[in-house]
Structure 1
Protein backbone atom coordinates (compact mmCIF):
# COMPACT_ATOMS: atom_id res chain seq x y z
CA UNK A 1 0.00 0.00 0.00
CA UNK A 2 1.39 3.37 -0.99
CA UNK A 3 2.20 5.74 1.81
CA UNK A 4 0.54 9.18 1.79
CA UNK A 5 2.99 11.68 0.35
CA UNK A 6 4.32 14.37 2.58
CA UNK A 7 3.27 17.92 1.99
CA UNK A 8 5.79 20.45 0.70
CA UNK A 9 8.29 21.49 3.34
CA UNK A 10 8.33 18.10 5.05
CA UNK A 11 5.11 18.70 7.06
CA UNK A 12 3.12 15.57 7.95
CA UNK A 13 0.20 14.77 5.60
CA UNK A 14 -3.29 15.98 6.49
CA UNK A 15 -6.00 13.33 6.92
CA UNK A 16 -9.57 14.39 6.12
CA UNK A 17 -12.17 13.53 8.78
CA UNK A 18 -15.91 13.87 8.41
CA UNK A 19 -16.29 15.06 12.02
CA UNK A 20 -13.93 16.41 14.61
CA UNK A 21 -13.11 14.43 17.73
CA UNK A 22 -15.43 16.67 19.77
CA UNK A 23 -18.32 16.06 17.37
CA UNK A 24 -17.66 12.31 17.39
CA UNK A 25 -17.77 12.29 21.17
CA UNK A 26 -20.98 14.34 21.20
CA UNK A 27 -22.61 11.98 18.69
CA UNK A 28 -21.56 8.96 20.76
CA UNK A 29 -23.02 10.47 23.94
CA UNK A 30 -26.26 11.30 22.09
CA UNK A 31 -26.60 7.67 21.01
CA UNK A 32 -25.92 6.48 24.56
CA UNK A 33 -28.57 8.80 25.97
CA UNK A 34 -31.09 7.80 23.27
CA UNK A 35 -30.57 4.09 23.94
CA UNK A 36 -30.85 4.67 27.68
CA UNK A 37 -34.11 6.55 27.18
CA UNK A 38 -35.51 3.77 24.97
CA UNK A 39 -34.56 1.16 27.56
CA UNK A 40 -36.23 3.19 30.32
CA UNK A 41 -39.38 3.73 28.19
CA UNK A 42 -39.57 0.02 27.33
CA UNK A 43 -39.24 -0.92 31.00
CA UNK A 44 -41.93 1.60 31.95
CA UNK A 45 -44.36 0.33 29.31
CA UNK A 46 -43.85 -3.34 30.11
CA UNK A 47 -43.62 -3.26 33.90
CA UNK A 48 -47.17 -4.65 34.19
CA UNK A 49 -46.91 -7.01 31.22
CA UNK A 50 -47.51 -10.67 31.95
CA UNK A 51 -44.97 -12.33 29.68
CA UNK A 52 -46.62 -15.72 29.99
CA UNK A 53 -49.61 -14.30 28.12
CA UNK A 54 -47.30 -12.84 25.48
CA UNK A 55 -45.61 -16.20 24.99
CA UNK A 56 -49.03 -17.84 24.65
CA UNK A 57 -50.25 -15.22 22.13
CA UNK A 58 -49.40 -17.20 18.94
CA UNK A 59 -51.49 -20.15 20.13
CA UNK A 60 -54.38 -17.84 21.03
CA UNK A 61 -54.22 -16.15 17.61
CA UNK A 62 -54.35 -19.53 15.94
CA UNK A 63 -57.31 -20.58 18.09
CA UNK A 64 -59.29 -17.38 17.45
CA UNK A 65 -58.46 -17.53 13.74
CA UNK A 66 -59.82 -21.07 13.56
CA UNK A 67 -63.04 -19.94 15.30
CA UNK A 68 -63.50 -17.03 12.85
CA UNK A 69 -63.60 -19.29 9.80
CA UNK A 70 -65.73 -19.78 7.84
CA UNK A 71 -67.60 -16.43 7.94
CA UNK A 72 -71.30 -16.40 8.76
CA UNK A 73 -72.57 -15.37 5.33
CA UNK A 74 -76.20 -15.59 6.46
CA UNK A 75 -75.45 -12.70 8.82
CA UNK A 76 -74.72 -10.39 5.86
CA UNK A 77 -78.35 -9.28 5.49
CA UNK A 78 -78.43 -8.16 9.12
CA UNK A 79 -75.47 -5.80 8.73
CA UNK A 80 -76.66 -3.98 5.59
CA UNK A 81 -78.70 -1.45 7.57
CA UNK A 82 -75.93 -0.74 10.13
CA UNK A 83 -73.41 -0.37 7.32
CA UNK A 84 -75.71 2.11 5.59
CA UNK A 85 -75.91 4.04 8.88
CA UNK A 86 -72.10 4.06 9.02
CA UNK A 87 -71.90 5.57 5.53
CA UNK A 88 -74.47 8.18 6.49
CA UNK A 89 -72.54 9.06 9.64
CA UNK A 90 -69.34 9.52 7.63
CA UNK A 91 -70.98 11.48 4.81
CA UNK A 92 -73.20 13.78 6.86
CA UNK A 93 -70.49 14.28 9.45
CA UNK A 94 -68.00 15.26 6.75
CA UNK A 95 -70.42 17.72 5.14
CA UNK A 96 -71.25 19.29 8.50
CA UNK A 97 -67.56 19.49 9.30
CA UNK A 98 -66.86 21.30 6.02
CA UNK A 99 -69.66 23.80 6.63
CA UNK A 100 -68.22 24.60 10.07
CA UNK A 101 -64.55 24.46 9.05
CA UNK A 102 -64.68 26.89 6.10
CA UNK A 103 -65.54 30.04 8.13
CA UNK A 104 -63.11 28.97 10.86
CA UNK A 105 -60.35 28.65 8.25
CA UNK A 106 -61.03 32.13 6.84
CA UNK A 107 -60.94 33.54 10.37
CA UNK A 108 -57.64 31.75 11.08
CA UNK A 109 -55.78 32.76 7.90
CA UNK A 110 -53.56 35.81 8.30
CA UNK A 111 -54.68 37.41 5.04
CA UNK A 112 -58.43 37.03 5.62
CA UNK A 113 -58.96 37.28 9.37
CA UNK A 114 -60.65 40.45 10.59
CA UNK A 115 -58.34 40.59 13.62
CA UNK A 116 -54.96 38.94 14.13
CA UNK A 117 -54.97 39.80 17.81
CA UNK A 118 -58.36 38.44 18.90
CA UNK A 119 -60.21 36.54 16.16
CA UNK A 120 -57.29 34.55 14.72
CA UNK A 121 -56.17 33.06 18.07
CA UNK A 122 -59.74 32.01 18.83
CA UNK A 123 -60.08 30.33 15.41
CA UNK A 124 -56.76 28.55 15.88
CA UNK A 125 -57.93 27.44 19.32
CA UNK A 126 -61.01 25.84 17.74
CA UNK A 127 -58.84 24.06 15.16
CA UNK A 128 -56.36 22.79 17.75
CA UNK A 129 -59.15 21.70 20.09
CA UNK A 130 -60.86 19.74 17.33
CA UNK A 131 -57.63 18.01 16.28
CA UNK A 132 -56.62 17.21 19.85
CA UNK A 133 -59.68 15.08 20.66
CA UNK A 134 -60.26 11.81 18.85
CA UNK A 135 -63.65 11.15 17.27
CA UNK A 136 -64.18 8.24 19.67
CA UNK A 137 -63.80 10.62 22.63
CA UNK A 138 -66.20 13.08 20.98
CA UNK A 139 -68.65 10.21 20.54
CA UNK A 140 -68.37 9.24 24.21
CA UNK A 141 -69.14 12.81 25.28
CA UNK A 142 -72.02 13.21 22.83
CA UNK A 143 -73.60 9.86 23.73
CA UNK A 144 -73.62 11.03 27.35
CA UNK A 145 -75.23 14.33 26.31
CA UNK A 146 -77.54 13.34 23.44
CA UNK A 147 -78.01 9.66 24.16
CA UNK A 148 -77.00 6.75 21.91
CA UNK A 149 -77.75 6.90 18.22
CA UNK A 150 -76.64 8.09 14.81
CA UNK A 151 -76.92 11.80 15.67
CA UNK A 152 -74.13 11.54 18.23
CA UNK A 153 -71.94 9.82 15.64
CA UNK A 154 -72.58 12.47 12.98
CA UNK A 155 -71.72 15.34 15.31
CA UNK A 156 -68.63 13.50 16.61
CA UNK A 157 -67.32 13.05 13.06
CA UNK A 158 -68.08 16.70 12.27
CA UNK A 159 -66.29 18.02 15.34
CA UNK A 160 -63.25 15.92 14.54
CA UNK A 161 -63.27 17.04 10.88
CA UNK A 162 -63.25 20.76 11.70
CA UNK A 163 -59.64 20.71 12.85
CA UNK A 164 -58.38 18.63 9.91
CA UNK A 165 -60.13 20.62 7.19
CA UNK A 166 -59.73 23.98 8.92
CA UNK A 167 -55.96 23.63 9.33
CA UNK A 168 -55.28 22.57 5.75
CA UNK A 169 -57.68 25.14 4.34
CA UNK A 170 -56.34 28.15 6.25
CA UNK A 171 -52.80 27.20 5.19
CA UNK A 172 -54.00 27.07 1.58
CA UNK A 173 -55.65 30.47 1.96
CA UNK A 174 -52.40 31.98 3.24
CA UNK A 175 -50.53 30.61 0.20
CA UNK A 176 -52.82 32.06 -2.51
CA UNK A 177 -51.53 34.31 -5.26
CA UNK A 178 -51.84 37.84 -3.84
CA UNK A 179 -51.73 39.37 -7.33
CA UNK A 180 -55.20 38.04 -8.11
CA UNK A 181 -56.53 39.57 -4.90
CA UNK A 182 -54.93 42.91 -5.76
CA UNK A 183 -56.42 42.82 -9.25
CA UNK A 184 -59.94 42.28 -7.89
CA UNK A 185 -59.49 44.94 -5.22
CA UNK A 186 -58.33 47.40 -7.90
CA UNK A 187 -61.77 47.20 -9.50
CA UNK A 188 -63.35 48.55 -6.32
CA UNK A 189 -64.70 45.19 -5.15
CA UNK A 190 -65.84 44.81 -1.56
CA UNK A 191 -64.25 42.41 0.91
CA UNK A 192 -66.92 39.75 0.34
CA UNK A 193 -66.60 40.10 -3.45
CA UNK A 194 -62.84 39.77 -3.19
CA UNK A 195 -63.21 36.54 -1.21
CA UNK A 196 -65.77 35.18 -3.67
CA UNK A 197 -63.89 36.02 -6.89
CA UNK A 198 -60.21 36.08 -5.91
CA UNK A 199 -59.72 33.76 -2.93
CA UNK A 200 -62.43 31.10 -3.22
CA UNK A 201 -61.53 30.01 -6.79
CA UNK A 202 -57.90 29.49 -5.74
CA UNK A 203 -58.66 27.33 -2.71
CA UNK A 204 -61.67 25.45 -4.15
CA UNK A 205 -59.61 22.54 -5.60
CA UNK A 206 -57.81 22.15 -2.28
CA UNK A 207 -61.11 22.16 -0.40
CA UNK A 208 -62.60 19.50 -2.70
CA UNK A 209 -59.51 17.33 -2.35
CA UNK A 210 -59.30 17.51 1.44
CA UNK A 211 -63.07 16.94 1.76
CA UNK A 212 -62.81 13.70 -0.20
CA UNK A 213 -59.76 12.65 1.76
CA UNK A 214 -61.48 13.40 5.06
CA UNK A 215 -64.61 11.52 3.97
CA UNK A 216 -62.45 8.50 3.25
CA UNK A 217 -60.91 8.76 6.71
CA UNK A 218 -64.29 9.28 8.37
CA UNK A 219 -65.65 6.05 6.90
CA UNK A 220 -62.93 4.20 8.79
CA UNK A 221 -63.50 6.16 11.98
CA UNK A 222 -67.28 5.81 11.89
CA UNK A 223 -67.03 2.00 11.87
CA UNK A 224 -65.90 2.00 15.51
CA UNK A 225 -68.19 4.71 16.89
CA UNK A 226 -70.86 2.10 17.53
CA UNK A 227 -68.59 0.56 20.17
CA UNK A 228 -69.54 3.50 22.41
CA UNK A 229 -73.18 3.66 21.31
CA UNK A 230 -72.93 6.20 18.47
CA UNK A 231 -74.65 4.02 15.88
CA UNK A 232 -73.44 2.21 12.79
CA UNK A 233 -71.80 -1.13 12.19
CA UNK A 234 -69.84 -0.79 15.43
CA UNK A 235 -72.96 -1.79 17.39
CA UNK A 236 -73.10 -5.11 15.58
CA UNK A 237 -69.36 -5.58 15.99
CA UNK A 238 -69.56 -4.92 19.71
CA UNK A 239 -72.45 -7.38 20.08
CA UNK A 240 -70.59 -10.07 18.11
CA UNK A 241 -67.44 -9.62 20.18
CA UNK A 242 -69.38 -9.67 23.45
CA UNK A 243 -71.07 -12.97 22.58
CA UNK A 244 -67.88 -14.48 21.09
CA UNK A 245 -69.66 -14.94 17.75
CA UNK A 246 -66.40 -15.10 15.81
CA UNK A 247 -67.87 -16.05 12.40
CA UNK A 248 -70.07 -12.94 12.62
CA UNK A 249 -67.02 -10.86 13.53
CA UNK A 250 -65.34 -12.10 10.36
CA UNK A 251 -68.37 -11.15 8.28
CA UNK A 252 -68.44 -7.66 9.76
CA UNK A 253 -64.72 -7.15 9.22
CA UNK A 254 -65.01 -8.27 5.60
CA UNK A 255 -67.92 -5.86 5.09
CA UNK A 256 -65.87 -2.99 6.55
CA UNK A 257 -62.91 -3.94 4.38
CA UNK A 258 -65.07 -4.02 1.23
CA UNK A 259 -66.62 -0.65 2.11
CA UNK A 260 -63.20 0.94 2.57
CA UNK A 261 -62.00 -0.45 -0.77
CA UNK A 262 -65.07 0.96 -2.54
CA UNK A 263 -64.63 4.34 -0.85
CA UNK A 264 -60.99 4.42 -1.98
CA UNK A 265 -62.09 3.73 -5.56
CA UNK A 266 -64.82 6.38 -5.46
CA UNK A 267 -62.45 8.94 -3.97
CA UNK A 268 -59.83 8.30 -6.64
CA UNK A 269 -62.39 8.61 -9.45
CA UNK A 270 -63.94 11.81 -8.10
CA UNK A 271 -60.56 13.43 -7.48
CA UNK A 272 -59.49 12.62 -11.02
CA UNK A 273 -62.56 14.32 -12.46
CA UNK A 274 -62.86 17.35 -10.19
CA UNK A 275 -59.27 18.24 -9.36
Structure 2
Protein backbone atom coordinates (compact mmCIF):
# COMPACT_ATOMS: atom_id res chain seq x y z
CA UNK A 1 0.00 0.00 0.00
CA UNK A 2 1.63 3.33 -1.04
CA UNK A 3 2.47 6.08 1.40
CA UNK A 4 2.48 9.77 0.47
CA UNK A 5 3.18 12.95 2.41
CA UNK A 6 0.75 15.86 2.46
CA UNK A 7 1.67 19.59 2.63
CA UNK A 8 2.20 19.38 6.41
CA UNK A 9 4.71 16.56 6.04
CA UNK A 10 2.35 13.93 7.48
CA UNK A 11 2.42 10.47 5.99
CA UNK A 12 -0.87 9.45 4.40
CA UNK A 13 -1.79 5.86 3.67
CA UNK A 14 -3.49 5.38 0.28
CA UNK A 15 -4.91 2.39 -1.52
CA UNK A 16 -3.19 3.37 -4.78
CA UNK A 17 -0.42 5.75 -5.73
CA UNK A 18 -1.00 8.45 -8.33
CA UNK A 19 0.06 6.30 -11.24
CA UNK A 20 -2.24 3.46 -10.18
CA UNK A 21 -5.13 5.89 -9.64
CA UNK A 22 -4.62 7.36 -13.10
CA UNK A 23 -4.57 3.88 -14.65
CA UNK A 24 -7.69 2.89 -12.70
CA UNK A 25 -9.74 5.89 -13.77
CA UNK A 26 -8.41 5.74 -17.34
CA UNK A 27 -9.59 2.11 -17.54
CA UNK A 28 -13.04 3.11 -16.31
CA UNK A 29 -13.17 5.97 -18.82
CA UNK A 30 -12.18 3.72 -21.73
CA UNK A 31 -14.69 1.08 -20.63
CA UNK A 32 -17.54 3.59 -20.44
CA UNK A 33 -16.58 5.05 -23.81
CA UNK A 34 -16.58 1.63 -25.44
CA UNK A 35 -19.97 0.85 -23.88
CA UNK A 36 -21.45 4.12 -25.15
CA UNK A 37 -20.16 3.53 -28.70
CA UNK A 38 -21.44 -0.07 -28.73
CA UNK A 39 -24.82 0.98 -27.35
CA UNK A 40 -25.09 3.68 -30.03
CA UNK A 41 -24.39 1.12 -32.76
CA UNK A 42 -26.98 -1.27 -31.30
CA UNK A 43 -29.58 1.49 -30.97
CA UNK A 44 -29.16 2.56 -34.58
CA UNK A 45 -29.79 -0.99 -35.84
CA UNK A 46 -32.72 -1.74 -33.49
CA UNK A 47 -36.39 -1.08 -34.26
CA UNK A 48 -37.44 0.03 -30.80
CA UNK A 49 -41.16 -0.08 -31.64
CA UNK A 50 -41.00 -3.88 -31.76
CA UNK A 51 -39.01 -3.96 -28.51
CA UNK A 52 -41.62 -1.92 -26.63
CA UNK A 53 -44.40 -4.01 -28.21
CA UNK A 54 -42.69 -7.30 -27.27
CA UNK A 55 -44.60 -7.83 -23.96
CA UNK A 56 -47.93 -7.63 -25.79
CA UNK A 57 -46.76 -10.05 -28.50
CA UNK A 58 -45.39 -12.46 -25.90
CA UNK A 59 -48.68 -12.36 -23.99
CA UNK A 60 -50.63 -13.02 -27.19
CA UNK A 61 -48.45 -16.03 -28.06
CA UNK A 62 -48.77 -17.37 -24.52
CA UNK A 63 -52.54 -17.10 -24.77
CA UNK A 64 -52.55 -18.97 -28.09
CA UNK A 65 -50.16 -21.65 -26.75
CA UNK A 66 -52.24 -22.54 -23.68
CA UNK A 67 -53.46 -25.08 -23.00
CA UNK A 68 -50.96 -27.38 -24.77
CA UNK A 69 -52.31 -29.82 -27.32
CA UNK A 70 -51.91 -32.92 -25.15
CA UNK A 71 -53.21 -35.34 -27.79
CA UNK A 72 -50.21 -34.40 -29.95
CA UNK A 73 -47.99 -36.29 -27.48
CA UNK A 74 -48.54 -39.51 -29.44
CA UNK A 75 -46.57 -38.05 -32.35
CA UNK A 76 -43.57 -37.05 -30.24
CA UNK A 77 -42.43 -40.49 -29.11
CA UNK A 78 -40.27 -41.25 -32.13
CA UNK A 79 -38.79 -37.72 -32.42
CA UNK A 80 -37.71 -37.61 -28.75
CA UNK A 81 -36.28 -41.11 -29.13
CA UNK A 82 -34.30 -39.90 -32.16
CA UNK A 83 -33.05 -36.97 -30.09
CA UNK A 84 -31.81 -39.31 -27.35
CA UNK A 85 -30.14 -41.52 -29.97
CA UNK A 86 -28.44 -38.53 -31.56
CA UNK A 87 -27.03 -37.43 -28.21
CA UNK A 88 -26.02 -40.92 -27.06
CA UNK A 89 -24.49 -42.23 -30.29
CA UNK A 90 -22.84 -38.88 -30.97
CA UNK A 91 -21.25 -38.92 -27.52
CA UNK A 92 -20.02 -42.52 -27.92
CA UNK A 93 -18.49 -41.74 -31.33
CA UNK A 94 -16.87 -38.60 -29.93
CA UNK A 95 -15.33 -40.52 -27.02
CA UNK A 96 -14.03 -43.20 -29.40
CA UNK A 97 -12.17 -40.50 -31.33
CA UNK A 98 -11.31 -38.23 -28.39
CA UNK A 99 -9.38 -40.83 -26.37
CA UNK A 100 -6.55 -41.38 -28.89
CA UNK A 101 -6.53 -37.66 -29.66
CA UNK A 102 -6.07 -36.92 -25.95
CA UNK A 103 -3.14 -39.35 -25.64
CA UNK A 104 -1.51 -37.77 -28.70
CA UNK A 105 -2.00 -34.27 -27.25
CA UNK A 106 -0.74 -34.95 -23.71
CA UNK A 107 2.90 -34.02 -23.19
CA UNK A 108 3.72 -37.20 -21.26
CA UNK A 109 2.18 -39.65 -23.77
CA UNK A 110 2.55 -38.08 -27.22
CA UNK A 111 5.03 -39.81 -29.54
CA UNK A 112 6.25 -36.44 -30.86
CA UNK A 113 5.96 -33.02 -29.23
CA UNK A 114 7.11 -31.34 -32.43
CA UNK A 115 4.74 -32.80 -35.03
CA UNK A 116 2.02 -35.06 -33.59
CA UNK A 117 1.09 -33.00 -30.50
CA UNK A 118 0.46 -29.75 -32.48
CA UNK A 119 -1.68 -31.73 -34.93
CA UNK A 120 -3.73 -33.24 -32.08
CA UNK A 121 -4.15 -29.81 -30.48
CA UNK A 122 -5.28 -28.44 -33.86
CA UNK A 123 -7.98 -31.13 -34.01
CA UNK A 124 -9.11 -30.27 -30.48
CA UNK A 125 -9.29 -26.54 -31.15
CA UNK A 126 -10.94 -26.82 -34.58
CA UNK A 127 -13.71 -29.16 -33.43
CA UNK A 128 -14.46 -27.05 -30.35
CA UNK A 129 -14.52 -23.73 -32.18
CA UNK A 130 -17.51 -24.51 -34.45
CA UNK A 131 -21.01 -24.88 -33.04
CA UNK A 132 -22.93 -28.10 -33.57
CA UNK A 133 -25.60 -26.25 -35.58
CA UNK A 134 -22.97 -25.13 -38.08
CA UNK A 135 -21.58 -28.65 -38.28
CA UNK A 136 -25.13 -29.90 -38.88
CA UNK A 137 -25.66 -27.40 -41.70
CA UNK A 138 -22.41 -28.47 -43.38
CA UNK A 139 -23.14 -32.17 -42.97
CA UNK A 140 -26.70 -31.82 -44.26
CA UNK A 141 -25.28 -30.21 -47.40
CA UNK A 142 -22.85 -33.13 -47.78
CA UNK A 143 -24.81 -36.25 -46.77
CA UNK A 144 -28.36 -34.92 -46.70
CA UNK A 145 -30.82 -34.29 -43.84
CA UNK A 146 -31.60 -36.85 -41.20
CA UNK A 147 -30.55 -38.36 -37.91
CA UNK A 148 -27.14 -39.49 -39.20
CA UNK A 149 -26.14 -35.90 -39.90
CA UNK A 150 -27.17 -34.97 -36.37
CA UNK A 151 -25.10 -37.79 -34.88
CA UNK A 152 -22.00 -36.70 -36.79
CA UNK A 153 -22.55 -33.04 -35.88
CA UNK A 154 -22.78 -33.89 -32.18
CA UNK A 155 -19.76 -36.19 -32.41
CA UNK A 156 -17.49 -33.70 -34.19
CA UNK A 157 -18.47 -30.92 -31.81
CA UNK A 158 -17.78 -33.14 -28.77
CA UNK A 159 -14.35 -34.43 -29.80
CA UNK A 160 -12.49 -31.28 -28.81
CA UNK A 161 -14.38 -30.87 -25.53
CA UNK A 162 -13.74 -34.45 -24.39
CA UNK A 163 -10.16 -34.63 -25.67
CA UNK A 164 -9.16 -31.36 -23.97
CA UNK A 165 -10.38 -32.50 -20.55
CA UNK A 166 -8.89 -35.96 -20.99
CA UNK A 167 -5.43 -34.81 -22.06
CA UNK A 168 -5.32 -32.42 -19.11
CA UNK A 169 -6.20 -35.36 -16.83
CA UNK A 170 -3.44 -37.44 -18.45
CA UNK A 171 -0.87 -34.72 -17.82
CA UNK A 172 -1.90 -34.51 -14.15
CA UNK A 173 -1.47 -38.22 -13.31
CA UNK A 174 0.83 -39.46 -10.56
CA UNK A 175 4.08 -40.23 -12.38
CA UNK A 176 5.37 -42.39 -9.53
CA UNK A 177 3.00 -45.18 -10.54
CA UNK A 178 4.18 -44.94 -14.13
CA UNK A 179 7.81 -45.06 -13.04
CA UNK A 180 7.16 -48.08 -10.85
CA UNK A 181 5.55 -50.03 -13.69
CA UNK A 182 8.28 -48.95 -16.10
CA UNK A 183 10.93 -50.20 -13.67
CA UNK A 184 9.48 -53.72 -13.94
CA UNK A 185 10.39 -53.80 -17.64
CA UNK A 186 6.86 -53.23 -18.91
CA UNK A 187 6.37 -52.16 -22.51
CA UNK A 188 4.96 -48.76 -23.54
CA UNK A 189 1.48 -50.22 -24.03
CA UNK A 190 1.59 -52.02 -20.67
CA UNK A 191 2.62 -48.81 -18.94
CA UNK A 192 -0.29 -47.04 -20.59
CA UNK A 193 -2.78 -49.80 -19.75
CA UNK A 194 -1.77 -50.34 -16.12
CA UNK A 195 -0.17 -47.05 -15.11
CA UNK A 196 -2.13 -44.32 -16.92
CA UNK A 197 -5.57 -45.61 -17.86
CA UNK A 198 -6.63 -46.60 -14.29
CA UNK A 199 -5.75 -43.10 -13.07
CA UNK A 200 -7.84 -41.31 -15.68
CA UNK A 201 -10.89 -43.61 -15.63
CA UNK A 202 -12.81 -41.45 -13.09
CA UNK A 203 -12.14 -38.35 -15.21
CA UNK A 204 -13.13 -40.25 -18.36
CA UNK A 205 -16.44 -41.37 -16.86
CA UNK A 206 -17.19 -37.87 -15.57
CA UNK A 207 -16.41 -36.27 -18.92
CA UNK A 208 -18.53 -38.83 -20.78
CA UNK A 209 -21.59 -38.27 -18.61
CA UNK A 210 -21.18 -34.50 -18.54
CA UNK A 211 -20.83 -34.28 -22.31
CA UNK A 212 -23.83 -36.58 -22.84
CA UNK A 213 -25.87 -34.24 -20.66
CA UNK A 214 -24.79 -31.27 -22.80
CA UNK A 215 -25.49 -33.15 -26.04
CA UNK A 216 -29.07 -33.85 -24.96
CA UNK A 217 -29.62 -30.09 -24.92
CA UNK A 218 -27.83 -29.49 -28.22
CA UNK A 219 -29.56 -32.35 -30.05
CA UNK A 220 -33.01 -30.92 -29.28
CA UNK A 221 -32.37 -27.97 -31.62
CA UNK A 222 -30.53 -29.73 -34.44
CA UNK A 223 -33.87 -30.57 -36.03
CA UNK A 224 -34.41 -26.88 -36.68
CA UNK A 225 -31.86 -27.18 -39.51
CA UNK A 226 -33.02 -30.63 -40.67
CA UNK A 227 -30.78 -32.94 -38.61
CA UNK A 228 -33.65 -34.99 -37.16
CA UNK A 229 -35.00 -35.31 -33.65
CA UNK A 230 -37.70 -33.40 -31.86
CA UNK A 231 -36.35 -30.11 -33.18
CA UNK A 232 -37.79 -31.07 -36.57
CA UNK A 233 -41.26 -31.29 -35.03
CA UNK A 234 -40.67 -27.94 -33.33
CA UNK A 235 -39.66 -26.34 -36.61
CA UNK A 236 -42.73 -27.73 -38.40
CA UNK A 237 -45.07 -26.48 -35.67
CA UNK A 238 -43.49 -23.04 -35.69
CA UNK A 239 -43.81 -22.78 -39.45
CA UNK A 240 -47.59 -23.30 -39.30
CA UNK A 241 -47.97 -21.23 -36.09
CA UNK A 242 -49.37 -24.23 -34.19
CA UNK A 243 -48.68 -22.70 -30.79
CA UNK A 244 -50.43 -25.39 -28.68
CA UNK A 245 -48.15 -27.98 -30.31
CA UNK A 246 -45.12 -25.74 -29.73
CA UNK A 247 -45.88 -25.45 -26.01
CA UNK A 248 -46.24 -29.23 -25.71
CA UNK A 249 -42.94 -29.82 -27.54
CA UNK A 250 -41.20 -27.36 -25.21
CA UNK A 251 -42.61 -29.21 -22.20
CA UNK A 252 -41.33 -32.53 -23.59
CA UNK A 253 -37.88 -31.00 -24.24
CA UNK A 254 -37.81 -29.59 -20.70
CA UNK A 255 -38.72 -32.99 -19.27
CA UNK A 256 -35.99 -34.70 -21.32
CA UNK A 257 -33.37 -32.17 -20.21
CA UNK A 258 -34.37 -32.45 -16.54
CA UNK A 259 -34.27 -36.25 -16.78
CA UNK A 260 -30.80 -36.19 -18.37
CA UNK A 261 -29.60 -33.79 -15.68
CA UNK A 262 -30.90 -36.14 -12.97
CA UNK A 263 -29.25 -39.17 -14.59
CA UNK A 264 -25.91 -37.41 -15.05
CA UNK A 265 -25.99 -36.12 -11.46
CA UNK A 266 -26.61 -39.64 -10.15
CA UNK A 267 -23.83 -41.10 -12.26
CA UNK A 268 -21.34 -38.37 -11.31
CA UNK A 269 -22.28 -38.85 -7.66
CA UNK A 270 -21.61 -42.58 -7.95
CA UNK A 271 -18.26 -41.93 -9.62
CA UNK A 272 -17.10 -39.36 -7.09
Moved more, 250-259 or 60-69: 60-69
How far does residue 62 in structure 1 lie from its aligned partner after superposition?
0.8
Which of these two proteins has the greater Rg computed from alpha carbons?
1
- Hey, what's the Cα distance between the residues in 1 that align with 2:185 and 2:93? 34
- Hey, what's the Cα distance between the residues in 2 that align with 1:271 and 1:226? 29
Aligned length: 265
| Structure 2: gaps of 5 or more residues | 1-7
> 1:244 maps to which residue?
241
- Hey, what's the Cα distance between the residues in 2 that align with 1:45 and 1:186? 64
Query: 1:25 is matched with which residue: 22, 25, 30?
Result: 22
- Hey, what's the Cα distance between the residues in 1 that align with 2:197 and 2:43? 51
Please tell me the root mean square deviation across aligned C-alpha atoms, in Å: 0.9
Query: 1:261 is matched with which residue: 251, 258, 261?
Result: 258
Helix, strand or coil for the counterpart of 1:223? helix
How far does residue 46 in structure 1 lie from its aligned partner after superposition?
3.3
2:67 matches 1:75? no
How far does residue 47 in structure 1 lie from its aligned partner after superposition?
2.2
Helix, strand or coil for the counterpart of 2:76? helix
> 1:180 maps to which residue?
177
| Structure 1: gaps of 5 or more residues | 1-10
Helix, strand or coil for the counterpart of 2:12? coil
> 1:6 maps to which residue?
none
> 2:3 maps to which residue?
none
Q: How does 1:186-197 map to 2 (within 5 A)?
A: 186-197=183-194
> 2:4 maps to which residue?
none
> 2:92 maps to which residue?
95
> 2:219 maps to which residue?
222
Regions of 4+ moved over 4 Å: none
- Hey, what's the Cα distance between the residues in 2 that align with 1:232 and 1:178? 45
2:161 matches 1:164? yes
2:149 matches 1:152? yes
